[in-house]
Chain A
Amino acid sequence: MLVIHPDKIRWLFWLRWKLFLRGFTREKSRIISTIFMVVFGFPLFAGIALVTYIAYRFLPAPANAEILFLVLTVVYLLWMALPLLEFTVNEGLDVSKLLLFPLTRSELMVSLLFSTLLDIPMLGLILVFVAVVAGWASSLPVALLTLVAVLIFYAQVVGISQLVLAALMSTLQSRRFRDLSIILIALFSMSCYLIQQLLLRGIGTGDFVTNIERARFSLYLQWTPPGMTASAIQQASLGNWGASFAWLGVSLVTAVLVLYLWARVLERSLSTPEVGGAVRVRQRKASRAAAVEAAATATRPRVAGGSILERIGFTQVFVIAIKEWKYFWRDPQLKAMLLSSLYIVIIFLVGPFLNPGDSFNSLGFLSFSAPLAVFFSVFTLSYNTLGMERQSLTTLFLFPVKPLRILLGKNLAVAVIGIVELLILSLASAALSHGWPLVLPVLAMGLAGIGVVIGCGNVSSVFLPQRMRQMQRGFQATGSSSGNAGCIRGLMSFLMLGVSLVVLSPVIVALFFPLYFHIRWVWVFSIPAALLYGIVFHQLVTWLVAPRMLARAPEILEITTRE
């Protein structure tokens, strides 16, 4: 039943437009991210559109058709996946908020279709579609058919993305999926370097065009919705109008089917009662009075004393470290940071294999790259150690724990991670480069570096804390996850990195120069000295900074827990 009131459609579009604008006026950071997307994303899409246009126009058949099949398939898959990651950000697609109003299914679908026009990535997609039409417009009839085919494909793309959204609505709202999406985005971001290397090795070879000409992706892709659109365009360009219209018809039927399924799934998801998240109330067998008595008396008496470890505070340090490790594993945002730090380590291991002829792969550099990698890794985890607590810092500051123990607990957690990374990396580097004689100085430099970096991190955490916003889900939500001060934040982080390097320079000199000047006997003295330097620096700085943390607690909270 196609019951559509134009007035309601107009007001729904007005709503979408208002939300779109308010997204910028209420969140200034979104303006910056949008500008960033336009400045970098628009040229990227324009570049893709230009390259594909050139491919359609100038590559010989059937290579140009194979490119078309690939491009449309990639677009289709991307538009299925992207909304899953940006669901909570795009309010215009949040149908649940329109449930209260008497809107028909058709009105909801039409409004949602129009909503997508206000998605910035859709502007890029339009460029790609323009390139398809322009690239295949060898004659007016072909251009017209291509235009119709692209419009049908647009409806398919929007429909399938909305169908997936509607079908997975409950999954999208689950905490586990949100956590997973944060990790996946982080992994994807990290793997861009590796993907770039693989692509360059694929596209950069002279056989790329030949391989494309010989490729037969279309044999398999033609049975997919994007393949149907590409087949219609391809057949029209070859003059096979019968086959072209047949494929166009099938594509149209598919589009209608997708939209129909979307409507049905949407209707079912809207009428299904919510499950989960309810408080389970269980009847207790014990009487309430007895339970209250147990609560009041169980907390008395307070046993005096405690073990020696408890009395010197080591237990609290250790408990805080355990809590940190649990959080590094369970909190997706911190897990992503941990994976990022591990990724740096992996790149340092894998890098030499990607550039085997590089002169930097000499014995010394490869081995000493290990502490450098760990340096950056540990810096990531320690320069804003209080800010990483996010809102929970309020709870931590309410406990009667000496600030020195808080810092030591957090430092212990990061140090252990750094030491594990250092061991793996230095041993692997030594095995790869047969640099076993360098293991000791490398380890010494790494351990000293960990002490220095963590010490400097304590300083920056107390005097230059930064807010780390709780990540929701999606690309836009993760855009400024590590802080909200933008350029200032970046500058401060860069400053602390520089200070850490400067402080570490005596260690670098003491350990690297004997290698360079072939006077390795100096290591007998410089290795223990470097270790001592790192430990003393960390202890001194932490001891000096801890009282200031207590004094500045409200100010630190104001910065790090600001809503």
Chain B
Amino acid sequence: MTTFPGEANAAATTNQALQPPHMEASSSNAPAVMARDLVRVFGQKMAVNHLNLTVQRGEFYGFLGPNGAGKSTTIKMMVGLLRPTSGSVWVGGVDVWKDPIRAHSLMGVLPEVLNIYERLSGREFLVFAGHMYGIPAGDIRRRAEDLLQVLTLIDDADKLIVDYSVGMRKKIALAAALIHRPEVIFLDEPFEGIDPISSRVIRDILRELTQRGTTVFFSSHIMEVVERLCTRVGIINQGTLVAEGTLQELRERASGEEKDATLEDLFLTIVGARSEHQNLSWLE
């Protein structure tokens, strides 16, 4: 279903009518992620304004928006790091704020700002994460080695994370988010600072995971990546979800624009960005 400005409220009402107010714990029919009337206010500023969205299981959901739109704030509320002013979030049918421990066991998170344990080596961090996720000790080592191998970190596995480059830190954080095979994985700007080879590996891993039923919810500024990977896209602007749907739906509903418009064109149209001609005559 595609929604556009003006239709958002109607869509939210429809969605709300379809979903029961109380979710059963981790039922197989429950959406992977559901947010209802999510609001976050910082002082006078409404960072997230009655956001409603639903992500079905197995979807690769792209969450787009300009800087300061509320993407990271929304993700933080969804993963339990930032308390909403009002509203609810369910992950795998579990209310994140009523049963945070169970919700966290269902999700993996790769935040934009990596706050991982830098004084542990890559291997130590993965083993630690494995224990924290309650994975049996016998499985932890094997999974950790597999992930290190896949993410080309095996040669640096015993180096302290503080000595890792930005890309390596992102990869180790991603490995820690995947080690317990989450039902939903949240990624906030996952491809920032990563070299193309690693980026390709990560994309392939994520795509494979969605094919096996894992839901991926990620935000990115890189439109080409979103266009290539995502099955559905949600666009947030100034705290409000202004558009949502598949790329095809977004194109079809684009009012009077080219049907072959890229996601970047659609995005810029939807958020109302204007291209202003700058007069830099001294450059000539």
Residues of A within 8 A of B (CB): 175, 277-282, 284, 288-289, 291-296, 298-300, 302-303, 305-307, 310, 315-316, 319, 323, 326-327, 330-331, 391-402, 550, 553-555, 557, 561
Contact = CB atoms under 8 A, between A and B. Distances in A.
Given A295-B208, A299-B179, A330 B119 contact: yes
Contacts of A282: 152, 155
A398 B104 contact: yes
B132 A326 contact: no
The list of the 5 closest CB pairs from A to B, nearest first, reads A399-B132, A400-B105, A391-B115, A298-B146, A400-B104
Given A399-B132, A400-B102, A299 B81 contact: no
Interface in B191-221: 195, 197, 200-201, 204-205, 208-209, 212
Contacts of B115: 391-395, 561
Given A291-B149, A292-B201, A399-B104, A300 B132 contact: no
Contacts of A397: 80-81
Interface string B138-176: 110011001101101001100010110101100000001
Interface stretch (B53-61, B123-131, B245-253): B123-131
Interface of B: 79-83, 100-105, 109, 111, 113, 115-120, 124, 128-129, 131-139, 142-143, 146-147, 149-150, 152, 155-156, 160, 162-163, 165, 167-168, 176, 178-181, 195, 197, 200-201, 204-205, 208-209, 212
Contacts of B103: 400
A558 to B, nearest CB: 8
Given A175-B163, A292-B205, A295-B147, A394 B81 contact: yes
B172 to A, nearest CB: 11
Contacts of B205: 292, 295-296
Contacts of A319: 128, 131-132
A333 to B, nearest CB: 10
B150 A291 contact: yes
A351 B62 CA distance: 64
Contacts of A306: 134, 136-137
B135 A302 contact: yes
Contacts of B134: 306, 310, 316, 400
B100 A553 contact: yes
A394 B111 contact: yes
Contacts of A398: 79-81, 104, 109
Nearest to B179: A299
Contacts of A401: 101, 132
Contacts of A399: 104, 129, 132-133
Nearest to A299: B181
A323 B146 contact: no
A279 B195 contact: yes
